[in-house]
Chains A and B, each alone.
Chain A
Amino acid sequence: MTTETREILRVSDLRTYFPVRSHGLIRRVIGQVKAVDGVSFSVGSAETLGLVGESGSGKTTVARSVLMLVRPTSGQIVIDGQEITHLSSKALMPMRRKAQMIFQDPYNALNPRHTVGGIIGAPYRIQGIEPPGGVRAAVQALMERVGLNPEHYNRYPNEFSGGQRQRIGIARAVALRPKLIVCDEPVSALDVSIQAQIINLLRDLQHEFGLSYLFVAHDLAVVRQISHRVAVMYLGHLMEMAPRETIYAAPLHPYTHSLLSAVPIPDPKLQKGRSRIVLEGDLPSPINPPSGCVFRTRCFQAQERCSVEVPPLIEVAPGHHVACHFPVATLPAGVGTARAMPETQPGVPVRRPQPASGQVSSAQLDCLPADGRPDFTRLRPRVRVGRSL
């Protein structure tokens, strides 16, 4: 089939930086958070690309940049053949019929003052589309399709559970029959028994409508379940990208190895004897990322070259891209054996790399929306209250 290979989304050398401002009266720009720093990938028709990474990796910023919800600093985004980064908000409107989004938090993504019917029907009204049979009939058909009772058309979001609210969000996203849906952590706020329902629903809708998904998530098991290909991000860069089977069975990047080994497997027989790579320290500051390879400060493979030369993303096998100077096919002896050979003796602290001098202090970092949206738990309550007093 020719449609199989058609690209619905192509992202080339995407960079999204956020300015860092000083705290004074004149809020000078004193730096940049390089949330996304040179990311390229594509999503084919009816394909799911899973985008995984930890918080601060830039995966959500990629998701939001793709739909121009944040304006990228540079790079190209082509949706269904059309380049969109130069378009004004108004000119983007027709594009939004083709690309929609499902959000993480089903509680905050729905307006509590609107009825479910109003929420799911909003895309028709905004785009000025009259579906055959009218908006109400179309919305009720959608509700039925995603597993909601159409009689609940006039109810409000607070009358629904988290899983049902996510179904409302999904119905809204598929209303215009888009080609691409960007899913930002669509199941991470849900209980496990509900997660499975939503994952199955997303799969069914993909088959039914030929949808392409950019599926952003941190849960590697969930991503494996739904994705055809998987891309791994770290500190604004793609580390590895490969077909699903390859990334889980034969990863090459040390970071992918660490991520996979850190996920506890729900089987005590396997898990209790399993070794894992415990990455030391925390994510470095995206304001002042490490030179060379951004992962080198936490990497068990790191050598001199890694601090000097940025590893390019190279295709090492068909469809398998890796950005690493020293890719790992099999783990070297002693790595990932935290269980068998504990590095720590009781009472002796784990050896941890010291933060490089000249790095911006975490104080400056923590008040930034590092993931591209304001995170109120990270704001500096001390400073604000002090000022208001």
Chain B
Amino acid sequence: MTTPGRPAEHPFLEIKDLGVAFPTEDGLVRAVEGVSLSIERGRTLAIVGESGSGKSVTAQAIMGLIDRKIATVTGEIWLDGQELIGLPADDLQALRGAQVAMIFQDPMSSLHPFYRVGDQITEAINAHRSIRAKAARAMALEMLRRVGIPAPERRIDDYPHQLSGGMRQRVMIAMALINAPKMLIADEPTTALDVTVQAQILELITSLQDEFGITVIMITHDLGIVADVADDVAVMYGGRIVEVAPTGVLYAQPEMPYTLGLLSSIPRMDRELSVRLEPIPGNPPSPIHLPLGCVFQPRCMYSDRVAGGACLSVRPDLLATAAGHLVRCHLPAEERRQISQGVLNVLAGGS
């Protein structure tokens, strides 16, 4: 379905100036502000950020999961040519699962504990088409087999508590993919899992993506997972995107001081051991009292290099610095690159 006036060659998902704000007793929580993104078909975009950065709220907005009674959502979200914001609830319901599906961090709280996993999967089928119970069960069985559940004919009648964490996440993935959606949003899908199980689930998501050609948004705080699965990365901080780049570029030539700070603060097994880590000083900003200028300014080591104190008073824009590479920072591009290469060299040297 193409909207008149829009070119046929549009990105699969395009978000324009998304804003989500929750009024609370303490003031307006601006969880997401001015987020613009686009993803091409079949690609994997990782959204990285720490808690409170707005990454999960962005995902929920795409899924239409933000309750309009308690929050205001502004901006545009175009999914395959269709505008999602303002769509009636019934239309959204038809879209969820069939077009976009989501898996969550904790599979135990997203699976219903009273129902057998097979019934939960067939319920997802029935939400979008009417087929015979027997056929639905066969579909569920086949999907459980595809996501690597051993002996699915026995597991299909299990309750969620009878499965391990990794198995539950496989069930969630089976449920998400049962209606052959075009896009999968994975919100910290492996955070609750052990590394060896995480490896299994990441393998699974990548192989299913190759098989079904789905577009994936991977929301995570783990820069290792990003390096593993993503084609492109958007870094979020304080409710906005502060840097977007192809994965290789983001790690080799990050320009936003926050991205650089993240890369220097993680301990890395592939590097010589440094005596001290270089953490980002301070704490993330409160979403109610955001800094007036750049939201990262209070923790930024380089803001005094910007003439006129612009970092303190002017919100920087997300601007292109190279093809596909956008940065939200007042520092001149040349200086950003110099700082970045200096820091990365020190890190690589393991001094």
Contact = CB atoms under 8 A, between A and B. Distances in A.
Interface in A352-373: 352, 354, 361-363, 366-367
Q: How many B residues touch the partner, as a band?
A: 35 or more
A266 B167 contact: no
B251 A194 contact: no
Interface string B208-243: 001100000000011111111010000000000000
Contact of B279 (A164, A197, A258, A381): A197
Interface in A27-65: 54-55
B283 A192 contact: no
B50 A266 contact: no
Contacts of A268: 226-228, 230, 247-248, 251
Nearest to A203: B276
A329 interface: no
A196 interface: yes
Contacts of A95: none
B196 A224 contact: no
A122 interface: no
A264 B273 contact: no
Contacts of B230: 268
A52 to B, nearest CB: 10
Contacts, number: 176
Given A218-B195, A278-B203, A382 B261 contact: no
B293 to A, nearest CB: 20
A135 interface: no
Given A193-B261, A346-B207, A377 B108 contact: yes
Contacts of A352: 148, 150
Contacts of B268: 221, 265-267
B163 to A, nearest CB: 7
Nearest to A220: B269
A205 interface: no
A283 interface: yes
A346 B114 CA distance: 33
B164 A161 contact: no
B266 to A, nearest CB: 5
Contacts of B261: 193
Interface in A154-175: 161-164
A192 B251 CA distance: 16
B114 A382 contact: yes
A341 interface: no
Given A192-B266, A193-B261, A380 B161 contact: yes
B277 A54 contact: no
Contact of B200 (A272, A278, A381): A278
Contacts of A266: 223-224, 226-227, 251, 263, 266, 268
A282 B197 contact: yes
Nearest to A189: B51
B207 A342 contact: yes
A385 B113 CA distance: 11
Contacts of A224: 267, 269, 273
Given A194-B283, A265-B227, A380-B161, A221 B266 contact: yes
Contact of A362 (B164, B225, B277, B283): B164
A363 B161 contact: yes
Contact of A354 (B150, B163, B267): B150
A38 to B, nearest CB: 22
Interface string A337-356: 01000101011011010100
B270 A267 contact: yes
Interface string A278-296: 1111110000000000000
B39 interface: no
Given A271-B227, A278-B200, A349 B146 contact: yes
Most interface-central of A192, A259, A366, A380 (chain B CB within 10 A): A192
Given A266-B223, A366-B161, A282 B167 contact: yes
A72 B268 CA distance: 35
B318 to A, nearest CB: 21
Contacts of A195: 265-266, 279
B275 to A, nearest CB: 8
A331 interface: no
A232 to B, nearest CB: 12
A262 B195 contact: yes
B161 A225 contact: no
Most interface-central of A163, A224, A377 (chain B CB within 10 A): A377
A301 B158 CA distance: 32
Interface string B288-305: 000000000000000000
Contacts of B148: 344, 349-350, 352
B78 interface: no
A325 B303 CA distance: 58
Contacts of B51: 162, 191
Interface string A240-261: 0000100010000000001111
Given A263-B269, A342-B207, A164 B277 contact: no
B199 interface: yes
Contacts of A381: 113-114, 161
A272 B265 contact: no
B268 to A, nearest CB: 6
A50 B5 CA distance: 61
21 contacts: A55-B194, A191-B51, A193-B279, A196-B266, A196-B278, A200-B276, A221-B267, A222-B267, A264-B225, A265-B268, A266-B223, A266-B226, A266-B266, A270-B227, A278-B196, A278-B200, A282-B197, A347-B211, A352-B150, A362-B164, A385-B114
Given A193-B262, A264-B228, A266-B268, 11 more contacts: A191-B284, A197-B281, A259-B196, A262-B198, A263-B195, A266-B266, A271-B224, A278-B199, A280-B200, A346-B211, A377-B109
Interface of A: 54-55, 161-164, 191-197, 199-200, 203, 218, 220-222, 224-225, 244, 248, 258-272, 276, 278-283, 338, 342, 344, 346-347, 349-350, 352, 354, 361-363, 366-367, 377-382, 385
List of 9 A-B pairs having minimum Cβ-Cβ separation, nearest first:
A264-B224, A196-B279, A54-B194, A191-B50, A196-B277, A196-B265, A266-B223, A193-B280, A225-B267
